[in-house]
Amino acid sequence: MDDDAMMMSNQDRLIYMANQIARNLSAASHGMAVEAVADHIASFWAPRMRAQIFALQAEGRANLTPVADAAITLLRNRDAGLAARPVGAIGQPEQQ
C-alpha cells in the first residue's frame, strides 16, 4: 500500500475523531454520552472543524456512530440557536 492510500483526508480524520470521542464517552447512557460528546467538540474543536463536520453530516457523507451523529445534530442545533439570538443576549431569548 502506498503512502497516499494510508493517509486520511481531513474529512475522514474529523469523522474518525468524532467517532473516537463518542466511543470513549459511551459508557454513560445514550443521552449523557451525546451531551458529553457535543460538549467536548464545542470546547475543543475550532469553528472551522465544526462547520466541516456539520456539512458532511448534512450531505450524508459522515459515517458517524449513533452517539456521534446525535451529538453533531445537537451541537448544530445549539449553534443555530445561538446564531438566532440577538447580539448580547444571555440565556433564554427575550419574551415579547
pLDDT tens profile 5-30:
456 799 999 999 999 999 999 988 99
The residue to which cell 466541516 is assigned: 52
Q: What is residue 5's predicted lDDT score, i.e. its pLDDT? A: 41
Which residues, 6+ apart, have CB-to-CB distance to 84 below 8 Å? 93
Q: Rounded to whole angstroms, how far apart are CA atoms 6 and 37?
A: 27
Q: Residue 55's pLDDT band (boundaries 50, 70, 90)?
A: very high
Q: What is residue 37's predicted lDDT score, i.e. its pLDDT? A: 97
SS3 74: helix
Q: Rounded to whole angstroms, how far apart are CA atoms 95 and 63?
A: 40
More confident position, 85 or 27: 27
Q: Rounded to whole angstroms, how far apart are CA atoms 90 and 25?
A: 29
